Structure 1
Amino acid sequence: MSSETFLKHDITDIVDAHHHFYSPDNDFNILQRQFGLAAYLPEQYASEAVGLPIFRTVHVEAAPAPGSGAAEAAWVESLTASGRGQVAAIVGSCNLADKDADAQLDALAAAAAGRLRGIRWLLDWDGPREGDGDNATHPAVALRQNCDYLRDPEPAAAFEKGYALLAQRNLSFDLQCAPAQLPAAAALCAQYPTVKVVINHIGKPRHLMTKDAAYDAAELARWRMGMAAMAALSHVYVKLSMLGYAVPNWHKDKAKEELLKTLVLEMIALFGANRCMFATNWHTNAAVSDGDGVTTDGLDIPALYTRFAEWTAKFSPKERQRLFSGTAAEFYRL
């Protein structure tokens, strides 16, 4: 879709609050090599977002090899410093449960050259991945820690020790976890109100309208309970992104799109526009960016932002400004 359709909605500034760059040539991009992914670089992103008013972006770590968060941040910073891309903030990778997390954070700050704003370490755990891995455990979590940093007592204690370091450094935390983990995440976040948190990917309700009504009801109930607990904390925000993971193939089916739109608007009502931000999660291709590989295709970036604009057409100009740029700019101190 052309960006001209989006521009008719009179939205003049977008901050893409979540995207990734990587290259199999980087020693630290082990996961991407394992999946056989080609490089995804600023020039590709720019060509796919051409015509949209995206002037600032947030680069979020792409699960580099453990202990190599500083190397990834230095690489992203080098791209930006050479005029490639519009990265205004970096969310770095650090296993906060590591004994040397403090030193890793020092190295990250130095490598990012003033752009480091937060940390992400993937936490999605729903039990061991078996067979085709049909549960909410993220492949990177299974490979790296293979446990629950939010609910398993010993690992959770180690993770919390590192999490506490973020407050001392004015760093935020990008929270990516399974819906069943959200109550435990809320308990952790409540203890550290000065550490701003943004929930990734609308809290990751999983594969709705792909099984049966009983599954959907249970999944939505679990997700809603967890998101309500998180929304009660004023320092917690949410990214409206990777929506095809929640409702696969929503872009091809009116009923699925209506469900997804309802869930997005529900989260905006729950958190308020001041704590919600749209993002693309862009990398690789549309199917992976929007659906985490659950689908074979997806909307391109202009079409995705056009849907966001259509869904929020009745919102005030101030609310839309927050959703498309203002909330992200405030959260990441752009």
Structure 2
Amino acid sequence: MARPHLPRRRPAAPRPAGTPVGEPVAEPTTPPGPTPPAAGSAPTPGPGSKTGPTTGSTTGSTSTATAEPAGTPVAPPPPTPRARRTGPARILDATPVLLVQAAHPRQAVATAVLMSVAAALADRPTRELGLVLLTVLVGQAMLGWHNDLVDRRRDAAHATRGKPLADGRLDPGTAWFALACGLLALVPLSVAHGPTAGLIYLGSVAIGLLGNLTLRTGVLSFVPWAAAFATYPAFLSYGGWGGVGTDEAPQPAMVLLAALLGVGVHLLTALWGLVADHEDGWTYLPLRLGLRLGAARLLALTALYLGLVTVAIGFVGTTSGLGTG
């Protein structure tokens, strides 16, 4: 006869010390912790797990996404590299080309050529004509660099074209270095015309530099231009070669006409920036005239004015000469 199978009794839990006999002992509870996953289900990550939470479960499929732990810094995207120009466009971004562009080359070349022509009409020797051309060209380039350095933020705000300092293609430190080198070259070039002529031209450049900082936004904006141009006849009449100048003073009429010429050049160069200057609240002479006459009429009158002054300079130069001697 087979022995009946009896269920095995679970061992009794140990009785804690001090518990009276006959009092039931509480069953041990399951310690807190992660619950074992049921059969066929995805495991649930517990504390410290590197696996992110499960999201987006649907019938028949389960999709999971891994999330970054809270507080993890997100790295910024890499900067987009600026497209490098190739061919002729790359040459235009070369530092020497940008320095030429920032020097106001058209105004610089025009002024230097006109001064050389005036020196030729004053019967200056040919070797001195080249010296006049180079000296004036360096001085005008310095004025152009300084002007673009002063107006760098204004030009950037107005998105002015053709300003490498404003659009970031030319570093301001490079322009300041070029300006310093220009000064080191201008001093011996100016003195080569003679002490008096050299000091006069250096004074003319100093007036232009101050004009970039003062008076340019008000009604007296023409004063630095008139004063700088008024020194040109004296620079030519006192000029010589090899540091030996002359003692021939300029004709007073030539000084006056040169000052009037400077006012006309100021009007002409200011015409292209009247809109931006008006937005910035400038009240200088070209803007006042432009608002009253209109830009087109002001341009026509300025051209006529410059033509008349040039004719007067030529008349005085041919009848009385540049100097008083």
Q: Structure 2 length as normaliser, TM-score?
A: 0.29
Give the structure with the larger helix fraction: 2
Give the structure with the larger strand fraction: 1
Structure number with higher relative contact order (C-alpha < 8 Å, ≥ 6 residues apart): 1
Q: Structure 1 length as normaliser, TM-score?
A: 0.28
Query: Which structure is larger by alpha-carbon Rg, 1 or 2?
Result: 2
